[in-house]
Amino acid sequence: VDLSAQIANMSVKNLFLNASGIHCQTEEELDELMNEPVSGAMVTKSMTPKSRFGNPLPRYYRLANGSINSMGLPNQGFDYYMDYLKNHDQKKPIIVSVAGMSKEEDLEMLHQLQDNDGYQGLTELNLSCPNVIGKPQMAYDFEAADDLLHEVFSFYKKPLGIKLPPYFDLVHFDMIAEVLNKYPLSHVNTINSVGNGLWIDTNSETVVLKPKGGFGGVGGSMVLPTALGNVRGLRQRLNDDIKIIGTGGVTNGGDAFAHILCGAEMVSIGTQLYEEGLTTFERVTKELTDIMEAKGYKSLDDFRGKLKVIE
C-alpha cells in the first residue's frame, strides 16, 4: 500500500503509528499492532538479512523525561518479516524498515523486495541507526547517502522512504534536502533517536548501558524540540510530494499537534508507546481530537504545516 496515498485521505484516527523498534520485532508484537484499533499504520523493527541478537544487555534505560538505548539492531531477519507479511492480512499498512549492516546488505534486501512480485508495500530505508558498533550513520555522510540512493533508485521502483537521524545545523538541513529532492521518495521519517548520548548512575558512578561504554540513542519528551526542528526544517526544504512522518518526543495530543503544525503527515510514537503500552494511541488521539475541536479544526489539513512565525 502506498502510504502517501493512504495519507492523502487520512483522518485523525489514522494519524498514528509506532516508531520502528517499538513493539514490532516479533510476530506476537506485530499482531498486537495489527489488531490495535486506532493506529493507522505500523512499521517493523529495522531488519537485516540474517537475524541478530543485537548488543549485550542492559541496552535500554528509562529516563525521567525520555529513554536511552543501544539495542544494536536486534531483529528476526529479513525472511521472518517477509513470511509475516505473506501469512497475515494487512488490516493497516505495514512499513517494512530495512537497515543493513552495510551498503551491500541494504541493496541485497531492496533487490529482494523489488523482485518479490507478492510485495507491494511501503519500504523505509533506515540510514540512521546510531547503535551498531563500528557502523557510522550513513545519513551524516551526505555523499555516501547520495551514492546509495542513486544506486537504489536505479532498480527500486516501489514506494520507498528514508529514516533520518536528527540534524543540528540549518546548512545540514539544506544539504540532506538537496540530496533527497533528487529522488522519487514517498516519505522521510524524522527523527531517529539523538545518537550517542550518555546516562550515568551517580550513586554507583557507572553508566547505565553495557554496549559502547554506555553510549546510546536518546528518545522521549526531551527530544521533542529537536524533532520539531527537523520536521519543520525538512518540510520547508523538501519537495511537496515527499511526505514527512514526524517522530520524536510525542507523549500527548499537544505534541502530535505541534508535529502536524510543522508539516508532519503522520506521527510515530516511540518511548511513550514502549513505556505506556498500546493504549497510548487511544489517549493521544483523543487529546488531539479535543484540541482540534476546541480550535474549530475539522481536518488535519486545516492546520498541517501552518505554523506561524513572529513577524
Ligand X SMILES: C=Cc1c(C(=O)O)[nH]c(=O)[nH]c1=O
The DSSP string of 19-54 is PTTSS-SSHHHHHHHHH-SS-S-EEPPPB-SS-B--
Residues 270-299 that bind ligand X (CB under 6 A): none
Q: Which one-letter DSSP state was computed for residue 158?
A: S
Radius of gyration of the chain (CA): 18
Contact 88, 34 (CB under 8 A): yes
The answer to whether 178 touches 238, Cβ cutoff 8 Å, is no
73 binds ligand X (CB under 6 A): yes
Site string for ligand X, 146-185 (x = CB under 6 A): ----------------------------------------
Tell me: does residue 247 bind ligand X (CB under 6 A).
no
Q: How far is the CB of 43 from ligand X (least distance, A)?
A: 11
Binding residue (CB under 6 A) for ligand X from 192, 226, 251, 268: 192
Sort 202 into a burial class: Cβ within 10 Å, 0-12 / 13-18 / 19+. exposed
For residue 194, state whether it binds ligand X (rule: CB under 6 A).
Answer: no
C-alpha cell recorded at residue 107: 541493496
Residue 215 one-letter amino acid: F
The CB-of-177 to ligand X minimum distance in angstroms stands at 20
Please report whether residue 25 would count as binding ligand X according to CB under 6 A: no
176, three cell numbers: 540532506
Partners of 20 in beta bridges:
none
Q: Which amino acid is at 4?
A: S
184/225 with CB nearer ligand X: 225
The answer to whether the CB of 59 falls within 8 A of the CB of 69 is: yes
Establish if 18 lies at the interface with ligand X (CB under 6 A).
no
| Nearest CB to ligand X, comparing residues 10 and 129 | 129
Q: Does 71 bind ligand X (CB under 6 A)?
A: yes
**Least distance (Å) between residue 148 CB and ligand X:** 16
Report if residue 217 touches ligand X, rule: CB under 6 A.
yes
Distances (CA, A) of 123 to 115, 161, 184, 265, 284: 14, 6, 13, 17, 26
From 193, 221, 272, 285, residue interacting with ligand X (rule: CB under 6 A): 193
Q: Which CB atom, from 41 or from 73, has the smaller least distance to ligand X? A: 73
Nearer to ligand X, 12 or 129 (CB): 129
Contact flag: residue 128 with ligand X (CB under 6 A): yes
Q: Which listed residue (40, 49, 66, 72) binds ligand X by CB under 6 A?
A: 72
Catalytic residue among 4, 46, 67, 128: 128
User: 128 catalytic, yes or no?
Assistant: yes
Long-range CB contacts (< 8 A, 24+ apart) of 144-147? 144/103, 145/176, 145/179, 146/179, 146/182
Closest contact distance (angstroms) between CB of 128 and ligand X is 6
Active site residue 129: yes
Q: Determine which one of 129, 221, 262, 268 is catalytic.
A: 129
Can you tell me which of 99, 138, 227, 292 binds ligand X, judged by CB under 6 A? Answer: 99
- State the virtual CA torsion across 4, 301, 11, 238 in degrees, nearest 10: 20
User: What is the CA 151 to chain-centroid distance, rounded?
Assistant: 22
Question: Which positions touch ligand X (CB under 6 A)?
Answer: 21, 46, 69-73, 99, 126, 128-129, 131, 192-193, 217
Residue numbers annotated as active site: 128-129
